[in-house]
Structures are given as C-alpha cells and as structure tokens.
Structure 1
Amino acid sequence: MTVVPMLVVNGDRLDRSLYQLAEIGKLPNKGVSRVAFSTEDLLARQLVRSWMVEAGMNVRIDAAGNIVGRYAGWRAGAALATGSHIDTVPVAGRYDGCLGVLAGIEMVRVLNENNVRLNHPIEVIVFTDEERSVIGSKAMAGEVKEEPEYYARLDGTPIHPCLEKIGGNWAKIATAKRDRSDIAAFVELHVEQGGVLEHLGKPIGLVEGIVGQYRFAVSIIGRMNHAGTTPMDMRKDALVAAAQMVLAVNKIAVETPGEQVATVGYLNVSPNATNTVPGKVDLRIDLRDLSQAHLEELIWRMKEEFRAIAAATGTEFTLRETLHILPTLSAPPIKDVIQQVCKRLNLDYACLPSRAGHDAQEIGRITDTGMIFVPSQHGISHSEDEYTSPDECTQGANVLLQTFLELDKVYPF
C-alpha cells in the first residue's frame, strides 16, 4: 500500500514572496507604502498576477479591478476561494493583507507541482482598495453605492480613472457581483492585527466572526462664556458634558456583559481657549461587536446616558450615524474544518472575533466565509514594526491548504 505524503507549503518560498512584494513601495525604515491605485500598487499587482500565472492559474480582472486567479478543478462550477489585499495604508508593514494573497498562491503552487487538483476550482483573489473604500469586495458582494463621488480619493480624484488604471470599469461595476453559485466558500488567512494570540501563546486563531461596526459623530452645544466671570452654577460647559459622555461610552462597554469595544478617539473643542468656557465640542464614537442585537442595545443605553448628561449640564447634543457595517459570522462548516485541521497538525488554537474589518466580511454577504489568524508580534499592525515570524506564516498557510483539501469534500459542486 502506497502512503501518500501530506502536502505542505514551501515556507521559504512563501517568505521570499513576502519579502519580494515588500520591496515594491519600500520605505527607508523597513516599512511599506503601497496605497491603492498608486504606481507602487500597479507594480505590485503586476508581480502578483505573474506569480498566479506561473502557479498554473488563469487570471482575469473584473470591473472592480479585483484580480481573480483561477486554478481549474476536476469539475466546473462554484469555486473554493481565498485571498485578501495588497494595497496598504500610507505607512505599513509587509504582512497585512499580503499574507492572505501570497499564502493562497503558495497553496496553488504546491497543488500544481504535485499534479493535484480538487473537485472544485480554486480562486485566489486580490481585492481592490481594502484599506480605504473596500470597493473590490463590496462590488463582488453587490454592495457598491451608486454614487461614484462616494469613492473619490481623498485628493478629489474620481473613482473612474482609478479603476481604469488597474483594468476595472466603473460603468460596468455591477458585473463584478458574484453569488453562491460562483463561490461555494471563502476562507481568508490574515495576521491578527492584535495581541490576543501572542498573549495566549497560541499559533492559530479560529475566527468566530467579524464584528459589526457603528460610528457616530456627536456635537455638544453649550454656551461660550468668560472663564473668569461666569459662576460655576451658571455655566453650560460643552466640554464638561463631552467629558462625561466619553466616560459614559467607556463605562457602558466595560460594565455590559460581552466582548464589545467602544472608543472615543476624536475630540474637537471650540473655541479651544484657556480662558473661555467651551461652547461646542465635536467627538466621534467607534462601537464594535459580533452581535447586531447587542450593538443596538448598547446604542440605546448610550443615547439614554447622553440625554441625562445633557439635561444635567444644560447642554444640547446631536448624534449622527456615519458608518454602519453588519457583523459577519463565520460559517459553522468552515469553523469545524479549521478546528479539525489544527488538531491534526498539532497546532493549538484560540477562538476569537476579528475586531478589524476584512474583505471576508463583505464576501460573507453572498456565501459561507471563515478566517484563520496568525499572531502579530506585540499586536502591532498598520505600522512599519508589524511582524509575524516565517514559522507562523508557514503554519497559517499549511492550515489554509489542509482546510481547502477538506472543504473540497464538504461543499457541493
């Protein structure tokens, strides 16, 4: 009886690919800058596309500019898909997004070298502009807004020429939409971008889901007045009210059972003068949790607290929603397979939510999704100091490979 060896990725080659990609847009202090639609982004896309072709994939670019590499299966039909993004924030590391793309390519390289094909086709996808607009995965999920100005760049550049530069077409962006008949399941490998796995000493994170997000802009209106001549009991101090609201947001998140997080990370005081009672404060709130119902409960409590604070301080406030993203829970069949794979590979794992947004969150609107995390040293991401060791990257890629081999048996064709 012939024993067929278990397929494993080439960790050295994966590490070299990460290094080579990071050379495009390399900054003096080892960081990377490869903002979507920039010259650096275009060069990186060309390199990754060439690697897909070399790995045996047919490659196309859809109307949203997504690069889709397809490795044929024994049967036509819905693919098992993976991928992420290669665009970066202005000062980034080499792993965020890139590991998911390059691990997918490495998985296909190994299959191709060993003359292995799954029943399902495999797709490796490079999504467009994850770091700002998420337009690539939103288009694939059919969630793109009709107004093109929504996707204009920060410098005012319209989206039309940006997509044209990378082979997309705004006028035909609706054609980028996919559904379950195209993609049977999607699994994204990503660095954690947090410190939980490192703290727990676990090499793999089994992601339970990607949190929903709300963001709010709050304006508190008081009465601007002289700091020396206005008695304390006659003040309508907008900053005092704002300070109490900040504490209320934190208290709600800390004292309510659950794993929600809430942050006030922006504050603007007017007129911002030492000898003047503040007349207006603008603040921004970021609220995240895996449960939409729980988020709505937290928002209700927050509004009640704000009303009480405004009444007690003689101020008024307005609260405007600026962002709402629904949570995406990982599909149980995918979670079960990842768990089984980790046990078979003797890799310890932790179950945790993703509190950062990912392309998988949007793809989860149209098909089953799951995510695999590997540790981020010191929890650092979106920084030139971002680091995940070669061994950790290799372990994550092997979990991805084995997960695809198993999912090929789980999902119908």
Structure 2
Amino acid sequence: MQSDPPSSIQSSFTQIGVEPPFVSVLEKHGITVPTPIQHQAIPAILQGKDLVGIAQTGTGKTYAFGLPMLQSMAHEKGRALIIVPTRELAQQIEEALAPLASLYRIGIAVFIGGASMHLQRRMLRNNPRILVATPGRLNDHLEKKTVTLREVRILVLDEADRMLDMGFKPQIDRILAHVPRERQTLLFSATMPKEIMQLASAQMRLPLRIEVAPSGTTAAKVEQELIIVQQVNKGMLLQSLLRDYHGSVLVFSRTKHGAKKITRLLNDQGFPAAEIHANRSLGQRRAALQGFKTGKYRILVATDIASRGIDVTGIEVVINYDLPDDAGDYVHRIGRTGRADREGRAISFATPSQAQHIREIERLIRAPLRRRSHASVPQLPLEEGRSDKRPQRRSSPRSFPPRSGAPRHGTQRKNFRPRRRY
C-alpha cells in the first residue's frame, strides 16, 4: 500500500481540482477551506486512484470522497455505491451530498433497515446514480433481485472498521461479489486493524494510503478524563456532572437496555433526555436526533451501534457511562465532541476492576487518560491485580429494578430474536 505524505499547506477547493459549481455550493454553506483529509484525498480520487483514508470522525470525510465522486459522475456514466454501518450515517451522507448532486440532477437513493422495501424499490424507478446503503438492507434487495450493482463504477466503504466490528463482513463480501472488479474503491476508517488491511489488500488496486492522524488518534482539542467509580454510584455521578456542565451532552451505554434505563433516570430527575438504540424505530431515532440537534433534548443517550452518523455540532461533553467493549470504539465515541477544530471534553466512567481495559484504550490512543475525582462519589484506585477485559454487563443505574418478565442473568428467552440488522 502506497503512502502519501501529510501536507500542512492551506489551499482552496479550486486549487485542489474542485470545479466552480461545487465550490459555489460549498461557499453558500460556509465551507471555504478544505480539511486535511479533503486536501489530500480529493486530488487522488479525481485521478482515479483507489484510496484508504485514516481520519477521525468529524474531519470532513464525507466531502473528501463525495466531492470528487460527484465531479467524476458529472462527466462520466456509471453509478456509485456508498456502504455505511448505520441508518443515521446513511441519512447524514445523503443530506450532505444532495445539494451538490442536484447541480447535475444526480439522484440519490438510501437503502436502510426500518424503511419500506416497497418504497425503496420505487426509488429505483427514478434511476438514482448514487446508492447509500447499510449492508443488511442492501443484501435484502440483492437476495430479492430488486437491485443490480453491475453499473457501479465507484465503491465507498465508510467507517469500515465499525462495519467489521458489527459483524458485517459476510454481508460486505456478498455485496462485493455483485460489484464489478473494474471499479474505483475508496475506504475510510478511524482505525486500521489487520482486518481492514486484509480487506484493502483483497479488494483494492495499489491503494494510496492517506493518514491525517495515526490510527487511533483522538481529536487534539478534546480533553479526556477518567473517573474510577463503583457501578452502583454511576447514576449519581452522571447527574452531578450534568449539573456541572450546561451544554449538550452525549452519553454512551454499552447496551440498549442500559441506554433505556439511563434515559428514564435522567428524565425522572428533570434532565431532558432522549435515547437512540436498536430497540427504537427509525421514526423514534430520527425524532430523538432531531430533538437533540434543536435543543429540545439537552442529553442524548446512545449505544455504539446506533450512534454512528450522529453529526451534531457543539456537543460540549461526551460521557462514557460504560467503557466500550472495543478500544477502537472509544476513538469513535469521543470524536463526537471537539469537531471542526472546536474544544470538547470526554469523561469516562470505569470500575476499579477495569485496569486492563483502560490500558488497552491508552495503548491505542498513545496517551494516558487523566484521572480525576468528583465530590459526589468516593475517590477510588484501580485494582491493578484484576483484569476484567469487558465492562460489567450491568450498564444502568441501580435505581431501576429489572422489568417484569425479563430473563434472569445467565438464561435466555424461549423465543430468541436475532440481532436486528442495520
């Protein structure tokens, strides 16, 4: 894999090859200077090169691939396929690219779970040239033969590391089997695990690697803090922190059940909060995200799976109520604050037994998490002798009893339902 040296030269979009009609639209949206990933990626993509882009969330990746993709499609035939891990990210990309695509009447269709298959089939009658899809729903259409990918000339895999973490590798492989081998492939990721390198090696032609920050690097202006707290005291600590800060707050729970209980606790205590996780319908997730953007809800409680595509400017604090299972998810989580060169803060809760898990995060980000205490809870040390790799499954405040009829720990419901596809 080739590497492109980083550049610190500030240039305009015109200087890196973006045509005037697109530049005018960008300027109307207040975008005049390319971000580092855009500065390096756009010229290479316009030259037709395969590309692997390593960049944090919130660095402008959508325009980094979207601008050269649309400019190429304005002058040549063919379709583009953008594969993303979640519904929210698919919708975010469609919203970002639609004003640019309308310049040349390039239609965009979004295929995501939770939406009507029938309506999605009707979209295809308008012959959209760009398809933004989640792996599960696109596979549904391929199985029913309601869509063909024979004309795809540009393939984008966005947040590829997250898609593999979510277990989408089999679906992605099936999709790639339907896409022509002669194509341009663009892969974007915040981290670069070996699985991504293997995917790039198997599916890309001499890809150029652009790394605006080393894999696992967190945003420079995000202050990261760690509080050691007993599980039983997390709810109390969360409420105290919410009184300390007055801006919008994004809270991460490891589980959808935990997210629901945290949201209920906050609303009961007078904190306007909404939840976004796999048990919420597409309409509920849209309403929660829109309410968070407009200020109706000051707090959004999310799981890792559902949080992809949350593009909200000005989030003051990200709180990791639970540490993520995978250290790479820590980078994705805190990337929701400190976006577009703004300052932000990320506060993580860890139980005393999670020393090993903390070390894995610190190893990935190449920096120690600053320990701090809070007056609302006892100050605790890490128990270095213990090495619980995974956080405890209980991810919600103890102020709520288990729901009636819920299975006891270690048992399963008789009617097991497989994990929802995105």
TM-score interval for Structure 1 and Structure 2 normalised by the shorter chain = under 0.3
Normalized against structure 1, the TM-score is what? 0.25
Structure ranking higher in strand proportion:
1
Normalized against structure 2, the TM-score is what? 0.25
Work out which of the two has the higher radius of gyration on C-alpha atoms and give 1 or 2: 1
